[in-house]
Amino acid sequence: MAIIAFIGLGHMGQPMSAHLVAAGHTVRGVDLDASATQAAAARGVQIVPTIAAALDGADAAITSLPKPEHVRGVYGRPDGIFAHAASSTLLLDTSTVDVETSQWCHREAEARQLSFVDAPISGGTTGAEAHTLTFMLGGRPGDVDRAREVVGPMAGNVIACGAAGAGIAAKLVNNMMLFINVLAVSEGSQLAEQLGLDAHVFWDVARVSSGDSWALRTWYPVPGVVDKAAANNNFDATFSVDLARKDCGLAVQAGDETGVQLPAARLALTQLDTLVAEGLGAKDCTLVARFASPDGTLRGYDPARDAAASH
Ligand code: NAD
Protein backbone atom coordinates (compact mmCIF):
# COMPACT_ATOMS: atom_id res chain seq x y z
CA MET A 1 0.00 0.00 0.00
CA ALA A 2 1.21 3.48 -0.84
CA ILE A 3 1.66 6.78 0.98
CA ILE A 4 -0.19 9.51 -0.91
CA ALA A 5 -0.05 13.26 -0.25
CA PHE A 6 -3.32 15.02 -1.08
CA ILE A 7 -3.31 18.82 -1.35
CA GLY A 8 -6.75 20.45 -1.62
CA LEU A 9 -9.58 18.68 0.24
CA GLY A 10 -12.56 20.56 -1.18
CA HIS A 11 -15.67 19.38 -3.01
CA MET A 12 -13.63 16.99 -5.15
CA GLY A 13 -10.52 16.36 -3.06
CA GLN A 14 -12.46 15.20 -0.04
CA PRO A 15 -14.31 12.26 -1.60
CA MET A 16 -11.33 11.41 -3.82
CA SER A 17 -8.94 11.22 -0.87
CA ALA A 18 -11.50 9.15 1.06
CA HIS A 19 -11.53 6.54 -1.73
CA LEU A 20 -7.74 6.27 -1.55
CA VAL A 21 -8.05 5.67 2.21
CA ALA A 22 -10.74 3.04 1.57
CA ALA A 23 -8.37 1.33 -0.88
CA GLY A 24 -5.90 0.88 1.98
CA HIS A 25 -3.46 3.70 1.27
CA THR A 26 -2.07 6.08 3.85
CA VAL A 27 -3.32 9.51 2.76
CA ARG A 28 -1.80 12.68 4.17
CA GLY A 29 -3.96 15.74 3.53
CA VAL A 30 -3.30 19.49 3.46
CA ASP A 31 -5.85 22.29 3.09
CA LEU A 32 -6.05 25.90 4.22
CA ASP A 33 -9.69 25.57 5.22
CA ALA A 34 -10.38 24.03 8.65
CA SER A 35 -13.83 22.75 7.67
CA ALA A 36 -12.27 20.90 4.71
CA THR A 37 -9.58 19.26 6.86
CA GLN A 38 -12.10 18.29 9.55
CA ALA A 39 -14.36 16.64 6.99
CA ALA A 40 -11.43 14.80 5.39
CA ALA A 41 -10.12 13.67 8.79
CA ALA A 42 -13.54 12.19 9.54
CA ARG A 43 -13.07 10.08 6.40
CA GLY A 44 -9.70 8.73 7.45
CA VAL A 45 -7.26 11.25 5.93
CA GLN A 46 -4.29 12.08 8.19
CA ILE A 47 -4.17 15.88 8.28
CA VAL A 48 -0.65 17.34 8.32
CA PRO A 49 0.34 21.01 8.62
CA THR A 50 2.72 21.38 5.68
CA ILE A 51 3.33 20.15 2.18
CA ALA A 52 6.78 18.98 3.32
CA ALA A 53 5.18 16.75 5.97
CA ALA A 54 2.70 15.37 3.44
CA LEU A 55 5.45 14.56 0.94
CA ASP A 56 7.87 12.92 3.36
CA GLY A 57 8.34 9.42 1.94
CA ALA A 58 5.25 9.74 -0.27
CA ASP A 59 4.89 7.53 -3.36
CA ALA A 60 2.54 10.02 -5.01
CA ALA A 61 1.24 13.56 -4.49
CA ILE A 62 -2.14 14.65 -5.82
CA THR A 63 -3.38 18.23 -6.08
CA SER A 64 -7.02 19.31 -6.36
CA LEU A 65 -6.88 23.11 -6.27
CA PRO A 66 -9.27 25.81 -7.46
CA LYS A 67 -7.38 27.84 -10.07
CA PRO A 68 -4.11 28.05 -12.05
CA GLU A 69 -2.61 30.55 -9.60
CA HIS A 70 -3.19 28.13 -6.70
CA VAL A 71 -1.53 25.33 -8.65
CA ARG A 72 1.52 27.47 -9.55
CA GLY A 73 1.77 28.58 -5.92
CA VAL A 74 1.45 25.13 -4.34
CA TYR A 75 3.97 23.59 -6.76
CA GLY A 76 6.40 26.48 -7.12
CA ARG A 77 6.71 28.33 -3.81
CA PRO A 78 9.72 27.71 -1.54
CA ASP A 79 7.71 25.48 0.83
CA GLY A 80 5.82 23.87 -2.06
CA ILE A 81 5.77 20.55 -3.86
CA PHE A 82 8.73 21.01 -6.21
CA ALA A 83 10.93 22.01 -3.27
CA HIS A 84 10.07 18.87 -1.28
CA ALA A 85 9.24 16.08 -3.73
CA ALA A 86 11.63 13.16 -4.15
CA SER A 87 12.41 11.86 -7.63
CA SER A 88 10.47 8.68 -6.75
CA THR A 89 7.28 10.65 -5.93
CA LEU A 90 4.80 10.76 -8.81
CA LEU A 91 3.13 14.20 -9.02
CA LEU A 92 -0.44 14.39 -10.33
CA ASP A 93 -2.49 17.54 -10.80
CA THR A 94 -6.23 16.88 -11.07
CA SER A 95 -7.17 20.60 -11.05
CA THR A 96 -8.61 22.26 -14.14
CA VAL A 97 -6.01 24.78 -15.31
CA ASP A 98 -4.96 26.40 -18.58
CA VAL A 99 -2.67 24.48 -20.94
CA GLU A 100 0.24 26.86 -20.22
CA THR A 101 0.05 26.30 -16.45
CA SER A 102 0.04 22.55 -17.01
CA GLN A 103 3.01 22.84 -19.40
CA TRP A 104 4.78 24.95 -16.77
CA CYS A 105 4.29 22.16 -14.22
CA HIS A 106 5.73 19.64 -16.69
CA ARG A 107 8.72 21.87 -17.53
CA GLU A 108 9.52 22.71 -13.91
CA ALA A 109 9.18 19.05 -12.89
CA GLU A 110 11.44 17.90 -15.71
CA ALA A 111 14.07 20.51 -14.79
CA ARG A 112 14.20 18.90 -11.32
CA GLN A 113 14.05 15.33 -12.66
CA LEU A 114 10.62 14.85 -11.12
CA SER A 115 7.69 12.96 -12.68
CA PHE A 116 4.55 15.00 -13.33
CA VAL A 117 1.30 13.95 -15.02
CA ASP A 118 -1.60 16.26 -15.84
CA ALA A 119 -4.62 14.31 -14.61
CA PRO A 120 -7.78 16.44 -14.81
CA ILE A 121 -11.10 14.84 -13.98
CA SER A 122 -14.69 14.83 -15.13
CA GLY A 123 -17.80 13.57 -13.37
CA GLY A 124 -18.55 16.25 -10.77
CA THR A 125 -19.01 15.72 -7.05
CA THR A 126 -21.39 12.82 -7.72
CA GLY A 127 -18.70 11.07 -9.77
CA ALA A 128 -16.14 11.81 -7.07
CA GLU A 129 -18.38 10.28 -4.37
CA ALA A 130 -19.21 7.27 -6.54
CA HIS A 131 -15.54 6.80 -7.59
CA THR A 132 -16.59 6.90 -11.22
CA LEU A 133 -14.55 9.92 -12.33
CA THR A 134 -13.02 10.05 -15.78
CA PHE A 135 -9.29 10.83 -15.57
CA MET A 136 -7.56 12.34 -18.62
CA LEU A 137 -3.82 11.75 -18.38
CA GLY A 138 -1.01 13.62 -20.13
CA GLY A 139 2.72 12.99 -19.79
CA ARG A 140 5.53 10.53 -20.46
CA PRO A 141 4.22 7.00 -21.10
CA GLY A 142 5.96 5.46 -18.05
CA ASP A 143 4.61 8.17 -15.75
CA VAL A 144 1.14 7.82 -17.23
CA ASP A 145 1.22 4.06 -16.55
CA ARG A 146 2.10 4.74 -12.91
CA ALA A 147 -0.61 7.41 -12.69
CA ARG A 148 -3.19 4.91 -13.97
CA GLU A 149 -2.50 2.73 -10.92
CA VAL A 150 -2.69 5.65 -8.46
CA VAL A 151 -6.02 7.01 -9.70
CA GLY A 152 -7.67 3.57 -9.97
CA PRO A 153 -9.66 3.75 -6.69
CA MET A 154 -11.19 7.10 -7.71
CA ALA A 155 -11.92 6.32 -11.35
CA GLY A 156 -14.57 4.89 -13.63
CA ASN A 157 -12.50 5.62 -16.74
CA VAL A 158 -8.81 6.40 -17.16
CA ILE A 159 -7.77 7.63 -20.60
CA ALA A 160 -4.20 8.33 -21.67
CA CYS A 161 -4.64 11.41 -23.87
CA GLY A 162 -1.04 11.86 -25.05
CA ALA A 163 2.04 13.90 -24.15
CA ALA A 164 2.41 16.68 -21.57
CA GLY A 165 -0.72 18.86 -21.42
CA ALA A 166 -2.91 16.54 -23.52
CA GLY A 167 -5.07 15.63 -20.50
CA ILE A 168 -5.82 19.25 -19.71
CA ALA A 169 -6.52 20.06 -23.36
CA ALA A 170 -9.13 17.27 -23.46
CA LYS A 171 -10.61 18.51 -20.18
CA LEU A 172 -11.02 22.11 -21.38
CA VAL A 173 -12.79 21.01 -24.55
CA ASN A 174 -15.02 18.64 -22.58
CA ASN A 175 -16.02 21.32 -20.08
CA MET A 176 -16.73 23.85 -22.78
CA MET A 177 -19.19 21.34 -24.22
CA LEU A 178 -20.65 20.80 -20.72
CA PHE A 179 -21.42 24.51 -20.22
CA ILE A 180 -23.01 24.75 -23.65
CA ASN A 181 -25.14 21.75 -22.62
CA VAL A 182 -26.00 23.54 -19.35
CA LEU A 183 -27.39 26.41 -21.43
CA ALA A 184 -29.48 23.95 -23.43
CA VAL A 185 -30.84 22.37 -20.24
CA SER A 186 -31.45 25.80 -18.68
CA GLU A 187 -33.51 27.01 -21.61
CA GLY A 188 -35.23 23.64 -22.07
CA SER A 189 -36.21 23.36 -18.40
CA GLN A 190 -37.71 26.86 -18.31
CA LEU A 191 -39.57 26.47 -21.60
CA ALA A 192 -40.97 23.13 -20.39
CA GLU A 193 -42.19 24.88 -17.20
CA GLN A 194 -43.85 27.71 -19.13
CA LEU A 195 -45.51 25.26 -21.51
CA GLY A 196 -47.12 23.61 -18.47
CA LEU A 197 -45.18 20.36 -18.54
CA ASP A 198 -44.59 18.45 -15.33
CA ALA A 199 -40.84 18.80 -14.72
CA HIS A 200 -40.30 15.13 -13.95
CA VAL A 201 -42.34 13.96 -16.92
CA PHE A 202 -40.39 16.21 -19.26
CA TRP A 203 -37.09 15.04 -17.75
CA ASP A 204 -38.20 11.40 -18.30
CA VAL A 205 -38.86 12.22 -21.96
CA ALA A 206 -35.59 14.07 -22.61
CA ARG A 207 -33.60 11.45 -20.71
CA VAL A 208 -34.44 8.81 -23.32
CA SER A 209 -34.65 11.18 -26.29
CA SER A 210 -32.32 13.32 -28.34
CA GLY A 211 -32.29 16.11 -25.72
CA ASP A 212 -30.36 13.87 -23.30
CA SER A 213 -27.01 15.00 -21.86
CA TRP A 214 -24.90 14.56 -18.74
CA ALA A 215 -26.05 18.04 -17.65
CA LEU A 216 -29.69 16.95 -17.96
CA ARG A 217 -29.13 13.69 -16.08
CA THR A 218 -27.02 15.18 -13.27
CA TRP A 219 -27.73 18.89 -12.91
CA TYR A 220 -31.35 19.44 -14.03
CA PRO A 221 -32.07 22.95 -12.64
CA VAL A 222 -35.58 22.33 -11.30
CA PRO A 223 -36.14 21.08 -7.73
CA GLY A 224 -37.36 17.56 -7.06
CA VAL A 225 -36.22 15.99 -10.34
CA VAL A 226 -32.58 14.85 -9.92
CA ASP A 227 -31.48 13.81 -6.42
CA LYS A 228 -28.12 15.55 -6.09
CA ALA A 229 -28.91 18.59 -8.26
CA ALA A 230 -28.17 22.01 -6.74
CA ALA A 231 -31.77 23.02 -7.51
CA ASN A 232 -32.83 20.93 -4.49
CA ASN A 233 -30.62 22.98 -2.21
CA ASN A 234 -31.25 26.65 -3.11
CA PHE A 235 -28.57 26.33 -5.82
CA ASP A 236 -25.75 25.95 -3.30
CA ALA A 237 -22.71 24.93 -5.32
CA THR A 238 -21.92 21.42 -6.40
CA PHE A 239 -19.91 23.15 -9.15
CA SER A 240 -19.59 26.83 -8.47
CA VAL A 241 -20.19 29.70 -10.89
CA ASP A 242 -16.60 30.80 -10.19
CA LEU A 243 -15.12 27.46 -11.28
CA ALA A 244 -17.43 27.20 -14.28
CA ARG A 245 -16.49 30.74 -15.29
CA LYS A 246 -12.84 29.80 -14.98
CA ASP A 247 -13.21 26.68 -17.17
CA CYS A 248 -15.34 28.41 -19.79
CA GLY A 249 -12.90 31.35 -19.87
CA LEU A 250 -9.95 28.98 -20.37
CA ALA A 251 -11.74 27.30 -23.30
CA VAL A 252 -12.59 30.67 -24.90
CA GLN A 253 -8.94 31.69 -24.41
CA ALA A 254 -7.86 28.48 -26.18
CA GLY A 255 -10.28 29.36 -29.00
CA ASP A 256 -8.70 32.81 -29.31
CA GLU A 257 -5.24 31.25 -29.43
CA THR A 258 -6.19 28.72 -32.11
CA GLY A 259 -8.60 30.82 -34.21
CA VAL A 260 -11.57 28.52 -33.49
CA GLN A 261 -14.94 30.36 -33.40
CA LEU A 262 -16.84 29.68 -30.17
CA PRO A 263 -20.06 31.75 -30.14
CA ALA A 264 -22.00 29.37 -27.88
CA ALA A 265 -19.15 29.15 -25.33
CA ARG A 266 -18.93 32.96 -25.35
CA LEU A 267 -22.65 33.18 -24.53
CA ALA A 268 -22.19 30.76 -21.63
CA LEU A 269 -19.24 32.82 -20.43
CA THR A 270 -21.28 36.05 -20.59
CA GLN A 271 -24.01 34.53 -18.39
CA LEU A 272 -21.48 33.21 -15.88
CA ASP A 273 -19.76 36.63 -15.84
CA THR A 274 -23.11 38.26 -15.06
CA LEU A 275 -23.66 35.96 -12.06
CA VAL A 276 -20.15 36.72 -10.80
CA ALA A 277 -20.83 40.46 -11.18
CA GLU A 278 -24.02 40.01 -9.14
CA GLY A 279 -21.99 38.48 -6.30
CA LEU A 280 -23.24 34.94 -7.01
CA GLY A 281 -19.89 33.35 -7.84
CA ALA A 282 -20.13 30.89 -4.95
CA LYS A 283 -23.56 29.58 -6.04
CA ASP A 284 -24.04 26.66 -8.42
CA CYS A 285 -23.36 27.21 -12.11
CA THR A 286 -26.82 25.87 -13.01
CA LEU A 287 -28.19 29.15 -11.66
CA VAL A 288 -27.76 30.38 -15.26
CA ALA A 289 -31.27 28.91 -15.69
CA ARG A 290 -32.43 32.22 -14.20
CA PHE A 291 -31.58 33.96 -17.48
CA ALA A 292 -34.16 31.84 -19.29
CA SER A 293 -36.99 32.51 -16.87
CA PRO A 294 -39.55 35.11 -18.06
CA ASP A 295 -39.23 37.29 -14.94
CA GLY A 296 -35.74 36.39 -13.69
CA THR A 297 -37.05 34.33 -10.77
CA LEU A 298 -36.25 30.63 -10.59
CA ARG A 299 -38.18 27.85 -8.88
CA GLY A 300 -35.89 26.45 -6.17
CA TYR A 301 -33.87 29.64 -5.78
CA ASP A 302 -34.70 32.05 -2.96
CA PRO A 303 -32.09 34.87 -2.71
CA ALA A 304 -33.49 35.73 0.74
CA ARG A 305 -32.16 32.40 2.07
CA ASP A 306 -28.64 33.41 0.94
CA ALA A 307 -29.00 36.79 2.60
CA ALA A 308 -30.23 35.15 5.83
CA ALA A 309 -27.34 32.64 5.77
CA SER A 310 -24.77 35.43 5.45
CA HIS A 311 -26.03 37.21 8.59
P1 NAD B 1 -12.97 23.56 -3.98
O2 NAD B 1 -12.79 25.03 -3.98
O3 NAD B 1 -14.15 22.95 -3.31
O4 NAD B 1 -11.67 22.86 -3.33
C5 NAD B 1 -10.37 23.34 -3.47
C6 NAD B 1 -9.68 23.23 -2.12
O7 NAD B 1 -8.33 23.69 -2.26
C8 NAD B 1 -10.34 24.12 -1.04
O9 NAD B 1 -10.70 23.32 0.08
C10 NAD B 1 -9.25 25.14 -0.70
O11 NAD B 1 -9.25 25.52 0.68
C12 NAD B 1 -8.00 24.36 -1.06
N13 NAD B 1 -6.84 25.21 -1.27
C14 NAD B 1 -6.74 26.37 -1.96
N15 NAD B 1 -5.48 26.84 -1.94
C16 NAD B 1 -4.77 25.96 -1.19
C17 NAD B 1 -3.42 25.88 -0.79
N18 NAD B 1 -2.54 26.85 -1.13
N19 NAD B 1 -3.02 24.85 -0.03
C20 NAD B 1 -3.90 23.89 0.34
N21 NAD B 1 -5.20 23.89 -0.01
C22 NAD B 1 -5.62 24.91 -0.76
O23 NAD B 1 -12.87 23.12 -5.51
P24 NAD B 1 -13.37 21.72 -6.12
O25 NAD B 1 -14.77 21.85 -6.60
O26 NAD B 1 -13.00 20.61 -5.21
O27 NAD B 1 -12.45 21.69 -7.43
C28 NAD B 1 -11.07 21.42 -7.37
C29 NAD B 1 -10.52 21.40 -8.78
O30 NAD B 1 -11.17 20.34 -9.51
C31 NAD B 1 -10.78 22.69 -9.56
O32 NAD B 1 -9.67 22.98 -10.38
C33 NAD B 1 -12.01 22.36 -10.38
O34 NAD B 1 -12.09 23.15 -11.56
C35 NAD B 1 -11.80 20.89 -10.67
N36 NAD B 1 -13.04 20.15 -10.89
C37 NAD B 1 -14.13 20.36 -10.09
C38 NAD B 1 -15.31 19.64 -10.34
C39 NAD B 1 -16.56 19.85 -9.49
O40 NAD B 1 -17.63 19.35 -9.88
N41 NAD B 1 -16.48 20.52 -8.34
C42 NAD B 1 -15.33 18.70 -11.38
C43 NAD B 1 -14.19 18.47 -12.13
C44 NAD B 1 -13.05 19.21 -11.88
**Whether pLDDT at 311 is above 90:** no
Categorize the per-residue pLDDT at 309 as very low, low, confident or very high, splitting at 50, 70 and 90: confident
**Whether pLDDT at 69 is above 80:** yes
Same structural domain, 26 and 72: yes
Ligand 1 pocket: which of 6, 9, 11, 178 to mutate (most atoms within 8 A of CB): 11
Q: What pLDDT, on a 0 to 100 scale, did the predictor assign at position 248?
A: 96
Categorize the per-residue pLDDT at 171 as very low, low, confident or very high, splitting at 50, 70 and 90: very high
Categorize the per-residue pLDDT at 310 as very low, low, confident or very high, splitting at 50, 70 and 90: confident
pTM comes to 0.91
Same structural domain, 68 and 128: yes
Owning domain of residue 210: 170-309
**Whether pLDDT at 173 is above 80:** yes
Q: Identify whether 228 is a catalytic site residue.
A: no
Same structural domain, 51 and 103: yes
Q: What pLDDT, on a 0 to 100 scale, did the predictor assign at position 307?
A: 81
Q: What pLDDT, on a 0 to 100 scale, did the predictor assign at position 186?
A: 98
What's the 36 CA to ligand 1 centre distance in angstroms? 10
Q: For residue 198, what is the domain's CATH number?
A: 1.10.1040.10
Q: For residue 134, what is the domain's CATH number?
A: 3.40.50.720
Closest-lying ligand 1 atom to the alpha carbon of residue 30: 20
Q: What pLDDT, on a 0 to 100 scale, did the predictor assign at position 255?
A: 95
Same structural domain, 126 and 206: no
Q: What is the rounded average pLDDT of the residues 247-273?
A: 96
Q: What is the rounded average pLDDT of the residues 88-92?
A: 98
Same structural domain, 105 and 211: no
Q: What pLDDT, on a 0 to 100 scale, did the predictor assign at position 172?
A: 96
Same structural domain, 132 and 219: no
> Closest residue (by CA) to atom 40 of ligand 1?
124
Q: State whether the beta carbon of 285 lies less than 6 angstroms from ligand 1.
A: no
The per-residue pLDDT for range 199-213, each reduced to its tens digit, is 999 999 999 999 999
Q: What pLDDT, on a 0 to 100 scale, did the predictor assign at position 161?
A: 98
The total number of structural domains that make up the chain = 2
Residue after which a domain boundary falls, among 164, 183, 217: 164
What's the 284 CA to ligand 1 centre distance in angstroms? 14
Q: How large a percentage of the chain has pLDDT more than 70? A: 100
Q: What pLDDT, on a 0 to 100 scale, did the predictor assign at position 83?
A: 97
**Whether pLDDT at 65 is above 90:** yes
Ligand 1 pocket: which of 97, 135, 243 to mutate (most atoms within 8 A of CB): 243
Same structural domain, 142 and 182: no
Q: What pLDDT, on a 0 to 100 scale, did the predictor assign at position 269?
A: 98
Same structural domain, 214 and 234: yes
Same structural domain, 191 and 74: no
Residue after which a domain boundary falls, among 126, 146, 164: 164
The per-residue pLDDT for range 28-59, each reduced to its tens digit, is 999 999 999 999 999 999 999 999 999 999 99
Categorize the per-residue pLDDT at 308 as very low, low, confident or very high, splitting at 50, 70 and 90: confident
Residue after which a domain boundary falls, among 122, 139, 164: 164
- Mean of the per-residue pLDDT values of the chain: 97
Q: What pLDDT, on a 0 to 100 scale, did the predictor assign at position 279?
A: 97
Closest-lying ligand 1 atom to the alpha carbon of residue 175: 43
**Whether pLDDT at 240 is above 80:** yes
Same structural domain, 28 and 47: yes
**Whether pLDDT at 93 is above 80:** yes
pLDDT higher for 308 or 59?
59
**SS3 string of the chain?**
CCEEEEECCCCCHHHHHHHHHHCCCEEEEECCCHHHHHHHHHCCCEECCCHHHHHCCCCEEEECCCCHHHHHHHHHCCCCHHHHCCCCCEEEECCCCCHHHHHHHHHHHHHCCCEEEECCEECHHHHHHCCCEEEEEECCHHHHHHHHHHHHHHEEEEEEEECCCHHHHHHHHHHHHHHHHHHHHHHHHHHHHHCCCCHHHHHHHHHCCCCCCHHHHHHCCCCCCCCCCHHHHCCECCCEHHHHHHHHHHHHHHHHHHCCCCHHHHHHHHHHHHHHHCCCCCEEHHHHHHHHCCCCCECCECHHHHHHHCC
Same structural domain, 133 and 186: no
Q: What pLDDT, on a 0 to 100 scale, did the predictor assign at position 234?
A: 98
Q: State whether the beta carbon of 7 lies less than 6 angstroms from ligand 1.
A: yes
What's the 7 CA to ligand 1 centre distance in angstroms? 9
Same structural domain, 124 and 15: yes
